[in-house]
Structure 1
Amino acid sequence: MGSRVSKHLPDALPPRAPQFAQNATRRFFRWLLGVCGWKLVGEIPNVPKVIAIVAPHSSWWDGWWALMFMVAMGFKVSFIAKNELFVGPLGWLLRKLGGLATDRSVANGTIGQLSAEFASRDQFWVALAPEGTRKKVQKWKSGFWHLARATDVPIVMVSLHYPDKTLGFGPLLETSDDLDADMARIRAYYVPFQGKHRGTV
């Protein structure tokens, strides 16, 4: 059983990536991913700061598998969620997993909040879902692009592909000053990938 799991996930993360120590929780999720047949493909970037955009986001299950990979590999990755979710036991769990509460009604609030996190930390990875919803959308939200421009932090494209049961790391993207051109490149990259219920186009 152990060999089956180890070939699906790297034994160690790149040294500059934020991470936590090996523990029983990590070992359990590595085992669970192996049993379920999921594996990692692509190269994890060896950078201390990155904006990871994750797609497709067609179901809660897409987020769940991505979260399992994060824990199994020992990534310290932050994500944003609505203020209302950060109450009681659920709020405690979200914070424990790297969740950051955000008020989406405040203009540029999330970009300002995450820019401050990047400025104040030596290592900071944040995962964002550019589709912004589990429904199929024609236009992606561009907040991640504006965040990258504001912080001079690269973007890494992370994909889920249910037919092969893979979570994939794509290339790092340094943004240009042309939003439309960058978005076209990003959307083209995600065309082959299928979430639980749909792809991205």
Structure 2
Amino acid sequence: MRRTIFNTPILTPLLRQGARLLLRLHGWRVVADQQALKLKKYVLLGAPHTSNWDGYYFILAALKLRLTPHWMGKDKLFTFPLGGAMRWFGGIAVDRSRANNLVQGTVDQFNASSELVVAVPPEGTRGRKERWKTGFYYIARGAVVPVVCGFINYPRKEVGMGMAMEMGENLKAELERFRDFYADKVGKFPERYTPPA
């Protein structure tokens, strides 16, 4: 597996110690569903996503939990001069100019891997939108992997992973399940949150 911030010998153990220290200094707690932690392949949601600080806390939590998350991005993001840094932070380039799209490219990555965690912010942006982007659902269905509810909750200073959900055929019903899970999770700027719909 390619080296990232989450699996580089010598450096990653130091970063994990640093993450634990920073979380303690900030007064944040990392919580995780133990069954979800045992999974090798899944889509990891990141919600609510209302601030750049969300990514910071998610990275600290991933380091503490010993996760190796990746994210998919269009190949143009991975060119010089930032390409190396994007890959080191877990990015995987997907060629969107071919007949297949980002969803199919991600499904292909899952099918080619024995272990893969792909992080997706379903809101797609830090600003309020009309509805969640549903690519994560189609990735999970296509790759036959569960979706794990990654979350952040600013009032309680908690970040982590909730339960894993297998995706059924009814998208609307699945979005209702996500709406229930995230109902008590509050972002840094609650007015920017887009609930599942």
TM range (shorter): 0.7 to 0.9
Structure 2 residue 103 is matched with structure 1 residue 111? yes
Residue 130 of structure 1 aligns to a residue in which SS? coil
1:197 to 184, 189, 192: 189
Please say which of residues 160-169 and 102-111 is displaced more in the overlay.
102-111
8 Å CA contact 1:190, 1:200 repeated in 2: no
1:74 paired residue among 66, 73, 83: 66
Distance (Å, rounded) in 2 between the aligned partners of 1:107 and 1:188: 36
**Aligned pair 1:54/2:46, yes or no?**
yes
Instruction: Find out whether 1:63 has 2:55 as its counterpart.
Output: yes
Match of 1:16 in 2: none
Quick one: percent identity of the two aligned structures?
A: 33
Q: Counterpart in 1 of 2:20?
A: 30
Q: Once superposed, which parts of structure 1, at least 4 consecutive aligned residues long, lie more than 2 Å away?
A: 19-22, 71-74, 80-91, 101-108
Q: Aligned ranges for residues 10-159 of structure 1 at < 5 Å? A: 20=7, 23-44=13-34, 45=36, 46-88=38-80, 90-102=82-94, 109-159=101-151
Distance across 2 between alignment mates of 1:147 and 1:66: 21
**Does the CA-based 8 Å contact 1:194-1:200 persist in structure 2?**
no
Query: Which residue is 1:167 aligned to?
Result: 159
**Could you list the runs of 5+ residues in structure 1 that have no partner in the other structure?**
1-18
TM (norm. structure 1) is 0.82
Letter in 1 for 2:125: T
Deviation at 1:187, TM superposition (A): 1.8
Following superposition, the deviation at residue 76 of structure 1 comes to: 1.0
Give the RMSD, CA atoms, in angstroms.
Answer: 2.1
Query: Conserved in 2, the CA contact under 8 Å of 1:41 and 1:167?
Result: yes
**Secondary structure class of the residue paired with 2:39:** coil
Q: Alignment partner of 2:82: what SS?
A: helix
Could you tell me which amino acid in structure 2 is paired with residue 39 of structure 1? R
The answer (yes or no) to whether the contact 2:78–2:86 under 8 Å persists in 1 is yes
1:134 shift after superposition: 0.9
Over 3 Å counting, the alpha-carbon distance change for 1:121 and 1:48 in structure 2 is same
The superposition leaves residues 74-93 of structure 1 with CA deviations (integer Å, 9 ceiling, x where unpaired) of 31110123444324453212
Q: Unpaired segments of 5 or more residues in structure 2?
A: 1-5
Deviates more, 1:62-71 or 1:142-151: 62-71
- For 2:3, the equivalent position in structure 1 comes to none
How many Å separate the matches in 1 of 2:18 and 2:81?
22
Pair 1:187 & 2:179 matched: yes
